[in-house]
Structure 1
């Protein structure tokens, strides 16, 4: 579930960013999307609060 939503968000970000961003910027954007989705999954599905010691 988390991988599917991450894939759809990254695919749409790649379409929007193609020609606007360089490859390095798109990769950083992908990693940021993945990180935020994992935090949302942690908070919403597992009922855990995000703590910086998780990093």
Structure 2
């Protein structure tokens, strides 16, 4: 995929669209490294959201 679409924004759109197919999502989540990457990304996203909310409330 990196050779076909080196732009992360394009890869994100393709991955998101692909994961909307139930069997693709099942197979993806069965892959330990893919599941770990999703978990890590969710943690980073949640942490960034929490920091942003804290900054808004303290201002």
TM-score normalised over the length of structure 2: 0.45
Structure number with greater Rg is 2
Bigger relative CO (Cα 8 Å, ≥ 6 apart)? 1
